[in-house]
Amino acid sequence: MGSIRANLTEFRRKKRSLGSARRWRQTWQSPSKLRDGCEIIIERVSSNDKRQIFQQFLNEILVSNILHHKNLVTFRGYAFHHEKFLVAHEYLSNGTLAAYLECEIQHNKCTLPLLTRMEIAIDIANALSYLHKHGIIHHNINSSNILLDKSMCAKVAGLHLSVNKETSRGCRVSYRSDVYSFGAVLFELISSKPAFWREVPHGEAVGLAKFAIIKLLNNTLKELVDPDIGYDSDKDVPEMVTAVAELAFQCIQCPKELRPSMKQVLETLEGIKKGTWGFNQII
C-alpha cells in the first residue's frame, strides 16, 4: 500500500506490546490518503521464522480482503518495507480484552457488567461462526487477539497460523480447536483472570481452564467468578454465570469431537443472555 509506505517516517511511534509484534498508532487526515480520517494501527510482524511469518502475513491479507464482518477487525492495507511485513488495521480505542481485564484487576474495580461481558462473548462467537462457515480456522483465539471499540463492541484480530494448546500435543488443528480456545476466553470473561495466573505472587502459574474445571466439579464456581459482577447481589447472575461456565466446559471437552460447533455455541450464548436457556439446557 503506497500511502502507508510513503508515510512510515511520519508515524507517531506510540508502541503497544502485543505478543511478538510492535504496533504504531496513526491518524490519517490527508485527503490524498484515507479520506475518511480513519484511525489505524500499523502492525510490524516479525519473527525468527521468516517462512512462518510470511505465511501469516499472506493469510491475514487474503482472508481480510475476502471476508468482511462487523466483528472482524477491518483490514486497511499492507506493505513490505525494508524486509518488514506491515499490515494496517482499524484502531480500536479500548485495546485488547486481555489488557482491559488486567487493568480492572490492577485498579481493583469492575467496569464491565455481566451483560456487557455476554455481549463481548456473543461478538466473538459471531466472528468465529462466520469464519467457520467460510472454511476458515482462526488458529489463535485468545484475549490478546480480541479488540474492543469505544462502545465495547468486540472484534477478532490476529488471523495467523499459530501453534495452540492442542497442536503442541501433536493433535491436528480443526474447527474444534477454535472452540477450545473460545471456551478458555469464556472463563476469562466470567473470572477477570488471565489464561495463566498466580494465586499468590511468585507462585506457580495456574492454567485458568484447569482451575475452572476443578471449581465446576466441586460446586465451588463462586470462587472462580469475579465478585464485582453481582454474583451475590443479583439473583439472576448466578444462573447466567453457571450457564456460561457450563458452556465453556463443553467447549474444552476432550476428545474434541465432544465439543459443540461455534454455531451451537452462538445460539446457546444468545439464549443465556435472553434468559431462555438455563445451565441445565446447555447444548
Euclidean distance between CA atoms 219 and 125, whole angstroms: 27
**Containing domain of residue 36, as a range?**
2-90
Q: In this predicted model, which residue has the larger pLDDT, 64 or 140?
A: 140
Give yes or no: residues 114 and 180 share one domain: yes
First to last CA, the chain: 45
Domain count, the chain: 2
* Range among 177-191, 229-243, 264-278 rated most confident: 177-191
Q: What is the DSSP string of 123-189?
A: HHHHHHHHHHHTT---S--SGGGEEE-TT--EEE--------TTGGGTPPP-HHHHHHHHHHHHHHH
Give yes or no: residues 206 and 151 share one domain: yes
Give yes or no: residues 264 and 245 share one domain: yes
Average pLDDT, the chain: 78
Residue after which a domain boundary falls, among 64, 90, 116:
90
Give yes or no: residues 175 and 63 share one domain: no
Please state, for a pLDDT cut of 70, what percent of the chain lies above it. 68
Euclidean distance between CA atoms 138 and 185, whole angstroms: 14
Burial class (CB in 10 A: 0-12, 13-18, 19+), 245: buried
Give yes or no: residues 101 and 230 share one domain: yes
Summarize pLDDT for 57-105 with one digit per residue, the tens: 676 667 777 788 999 988 777 777 666 777 778 888 899 999 999 887 6
For residue 264, the model assigns a pLDDT of 95
Residue 187 CA to chain centroid, in angstroms? 12
Give yes or no: residues 157 and 245 share one domain: yes
Euclidean distance between CA atoms 266 and 88, whole angstroms: 29
Give yes or no: residues 40 and 101 share one domain: no
CA quadruple 239, 242, 244, 246: dihedral, nearest 10: -140
Nearest to 142 by CA among 183, 90, 88: 183
For residue 48, the model assigns a pLDDT of 62
Euclidean distance between CA atoms 264 and 283, whole angstroms: 7
Summarize pLDDT for 15-43 with one digit per residue, the tens: 333 333 444 333 333 323 466 777 887 77
Q: In this predicted model, which residue has the larger pLDDT, 205 or 13?
A: 205
Give CA angle at 69 (67, 73), nearest 5°.
Answer: 90
Q: In this predicted model, which residue has the larger pLDDT, 48 or 195?
A: 195
Euclidean distance between CA atoms 170 and 65, whole angstroms: 31
Helix axes 175-191, 262-274, angle to 10 degrees: 30
Give yes or no: residues 46 and 128 share one domain: no
Give yes or no: residues 102 and 81 share one domain: no
Mean pLDDT, residues 46-62: 66
Residue after which a domain boundary falls, among 90, 108, 140:
90
Would the pTM count as exceeding 0.85? Answer: no
Give yes or no: residues 55 and 86 share one domain: yes
Give yes or no: residues 115 and 16 share one domain: no
pLDDT at 256 over 70: yes
> At 24, which CATH number?
3.30.200.20
Give yes or no: residues 159 and 269 share one domain: yes
> How many angstroms separate the Cα of 138 from the Cα of each of 22, 27, 35, 215?
21, 28, 31, 29
For residue 142, the model assigns a pLDDT of 94
Residue after which a domain boundary falls, among 39, 70, 90:
90
